[in-house]
Chain A
Amino acid sequence: MNLVFALLPAAIVLGLLGLAGFIWAVRSGQFNDLDTPSRRMLFDENETHENEGDTPRRT
């Protein structure tokens, strides 16, 4: 059970990694627009690539 003295802080350090990731995400502005992603979720990226194959691009 002495292991607990080492494991507990280790678990917290892992948690801190997660927190660091969150802080980075907030700082880089990923939480600025919370409305549009809900719309973007509905896009289906695969289909658009098919279309691009069929029609030539305009310049």
Chain B
Amino acid sequence: MLHDLGLDRYYKLRDEMGEAGQPRDASATTDTYTYLDHALIQEKAISHDERSGHARVVFSLTGVHCTACVWVIEKLPDFLPGVEQSRLNFRTGRVEIDFDPARISLSRLAFQLHQLGYPPRLVAHDELNVQKRETEAQAKDQWMRMGVAAFCAMNLMMVAVSIWEGIYSGIAASYQSFFGWISVVLALPAVTYSAWPFYRRAWQGIRAGVIHMDLPIAAAIVATFLVSTFNAYRGKNDLYFDSLAALVFLLLLGRYAQWRAMQRAREWMSRGTTFLPESVLDETEKARPRAAFQVGDRVKVLAGQRIAFDGTILEGSSSVDLALLTGESSTTRVMPGDRVLAGSLNWNAPILMRVDALGKDTRMGQMEALLASQNELSAHTPFLLWLDRVGRIFFYAICILSVLTMGLGSVYIGWERALQRVLALWIVSCPCALSLATPLALAMAVGSAARRGLLLRTSDVLEHALSIRHVLFDKTGTLTRGELRVVKADWNSSFFTEDAAADDAAQAKTATLVAALEEGIAHPVANAVRAWARQYVSDGDLPTIATEVLPGKGVRSRDRKYWLGSVSWLTQEFGFKSIESGTTLGFVEEGKWKLGLVLQDEMRPEAAEVIAALKRNHLNVGLLSGDRMGVVLETGKLLGISSPLLGEQLPEHKLRTIEHLRRSGAVMMVGDGINDTGAIARADIGVAIVPENANLLHTTAPVVLGRADLRLVPALFELSRDTRSVIRRSLVVSLAYNLVGTSAALLGWINPFLAGLLMPISSVTVVILTLSARAWRK
């Protein structure tokens, strides 16, 4: 297609740049985007450019990864009549297209983009306005202040050359005074307009009783300006205006670099939460907007498409990729009857599913809501309070040093040179690790955790995790899946030892009968049996059998041909002997035992390795359960848990155990969040591993596992340790810098201008070190 359009250059550019392509999404039909022509969508999506009057639409594209992509997309006007302009923002993947709606429709535009290889997603124009405009306004503000400061600095430098020449070879007083006053005027915009943010933040800090990092800077700028003005008035040539303006410019530049870095980090942290497809196929494969679907509707998802709702598969077997929810690419096989989650990608084959939850009620929506309700850094952690104290001590130290320098300096080198050293001191000293890096590191940690499914309500959990000594697990629903499953099917060999093919058919027939007997019964046992039978026969193909249910015993067909129930009941009715122990259910056909099923609440496969990992980190692991002591002891042996290992615990027993343990160290309690709320709240850190069909938001635990994977527990500890190292690294760098910098300032090795150069360098270094830590990418 690219060749037809004379766009062969795409490949040339792509090869020249040495960038490889990526696999494409599902192919679109001409109908995929027809929903875009709907009036409501048009209203939301199309805005109008103020000057040209053209209609403008913004799409978010996937698959933009190289220069050639930018080239192709911006060439749209050349081969799509009706498109006036197409501008792509490479970093965000958003394209702004100006077009004439009378000549080309929105759907055709989207279709073409898809055909080129960039499936588009519509971005409503009010969604844009809020976030983008704000960020743009902030950036513009910073650019303008920088521009003014740069202009002042450069022109002041021009005047300064004359002044320096005058210092060297003499200058008439009238010219000296002229240059002096021009310098004052030129410096004013830099010192007032450009430096304003520093003054504002320093003042806000004072009002809040906190020593803001900008306070020394603001003080230094004002002091330097006043001193220089005084000198100009006296006709002296000790003028620092040029350095001052340059200093302001450099400081602004440094702050801008940090701000950009933080923007990038924020974007990186929040990507992946809004990837749901805008258009979804209904059961007749007609595309409709996602918002048009209700719970209970049937939806078709083709191979390569992303699933838009939480639901149950009705037809089709495939594999789904949960990368969006877990952070790793791993596929799981799914069959009719299995649940799938919004945000996962359907890999192999088309499936037909029933919508069980939409939007906010999907697991993904719950995770987003949980994260959104997170408090900003709570100021209650001991660590942050300690940082505050350090900041204050720092400031007092600077003040004392300044006074000493002025005092001693005036005696030995004259008050003007002493003042210069003090000014340099104020500018160079920067507790950047404290005020920049630490909050940033904590924010990155929380974001990185969220991406893996580990949802932290507040960031102080990371700090508290470092002091945990005991980790207690509940059993049912935490260490085990919380639901019964058929773990073994014992086929009676006297009926099933013929050749394999006949065996399969016979087994399938039997499974069909078993499932048919359990149909319509809403009981965990029945659910487990039906789930097991799905590998042989699909839900829709079951014959209807008239049954009677005998509570506590089982179910049988009315004609008494087929029986399915507890072993004791069947033995009573039919007199079977030598049934394998451990069998839970038996299936009897015409008086003959055909099949035994063993049902268990399966242990989570990762449980053992998780316990081992925690023990390796010198944590004491315990088990608290309401289950029978026998079962608990067995589980403990299996997993290597020795103490505390307590069974038959009522909620108040659990609370008492936790209280008792807390005396010897902080306790973490891992439970299902629904039945263990008391214990989870009493522990120092409560972790809820919420069952699949429950709502994440219904628990108040500070840590919620967005997916049922126990490995997230050791991951939390690892993340805490990593975060602490990152913060420590920043503190070390900042400390080293400050020691070197303040010494140099006091000894007169650096003047205020050099100080201004060093300070942003150190801040940016610390910020970059924090942002690029490998811990966030694990």
Residues of A within 8 A of B (CB): 1, 4-5, 8-9, 11-12, 15-16, 18-19, 22-23, 26-27, 29, 31-33, 35-36, 39-40, 42-43, 47-48, 51-52, 54-55, 57-59
- Provide a sorted-by-A list of 12 A–B residue pairs whose CB atoms are within 8 angstroms: A4-B175, A11-B158, A15-B154, A16-B151, A19-B151, A23-B144, A23-B147, A29-B136, A40-B74, A48-B9, A55-B5, A58-B79
Interface size class of B (residues with CB under 8 A): 35 or more
What's the A-B contact tally at a CB cutoff of 8 Å?
80
Tell me the nearest residue of chain A to B151, going by C-beta. Answer: A19
Q: Given A19-B148, A27-B140, A35–B91 Cβ distance below 8 Å? A: yes
- Give min CB distance, B439 to chain A, whole Å: 25
Tell me the nearest residue of chain B to A41, going by C-beta. Answer: B67
Q: Given A32-B136, A51-B6, A58-B4, A22–B147 Cβ distance below 8 Å? A: yes
Label chain B's interface by main secondary structure. helix
Interface contact A51-B70, CB-CB below 8 Å: no
Q: Which residues of chain B are within 8 angstroms of A36 by Cβ–Cβ distance? A: 70, 88-91
Q: Which residues of chain B are within 8 angstroms of A23 by Cβ–Cβ distance? A: 144, 147
Q: Which residues of chain B are within 8 angstroms of A4 by Cβ–Cβ distance? A: 175, 178
- Give min CB distance, A36 to chain B, whole Å: 4
Hey, what's the 0/1 contact readout for B1-40 against A, CB within 8 Å counting as 1? 0001111110001000100000000000000000000000
Residues of B within 8 A of A (CB): 4-9, 13, 17, 67, 70-71, 74-75, 78-79, 81, 88-91, 136, 139-140, 143-144, 147-148, 151, 154-155, 158-159, 175, 178, 182, 186
Interface contact B140-A26, CB-CB below 8 Å: yes
Interface contact B140-A1, CB-CB below 8 Å: no
> How far does the alpha carbon of A9 sit from the alpha carbon of B186 in the complex, in Å?
11
Q: Given A23-B144, A31-B139, A36-B89, A15–B155 Cβ distance below 8 Å? A: yes
- Give min CB distance, B95 to chain A, whole Å: 10
Q: Given A31-B139, A55-B6, A39–B90 Cβ distance below 8 Å? A: yes
> How far does the alpha carbon of A26 sit from the alpha carbon of B574 in the complex, in Å?
89
- Give min CB distance, B17 to chain A, whole Å: 8
Shortest Cβ-Cβ A-B pairs, 10 listed: A55-B6, A36-B90, A35-B91, A51-B6, A19-B151, A39-B67, A26-B143, A22-B147, A39-B70, A35-B90
> How far does the alpha carbon of A59 sit from the alpha carbon of B175 in the complex, in Å?
71
Q: Given A5-B178, A48-B75, A31–B90 Cβ distance below 8 Å? A: no
- Give min CB distance, A23 to chain B, whole Å: 6
Q: Given A36-B90, A52-B78, A18–B151 Cβ distance below 8 Å? A: yes
Tell me the nearest residue of chain B to A22, going by C-beta. Answer: B147
Q: Which residues of chain B are within 8 angstroms of A42 by Cβ–Cβ distance? A: 13, 17, 67
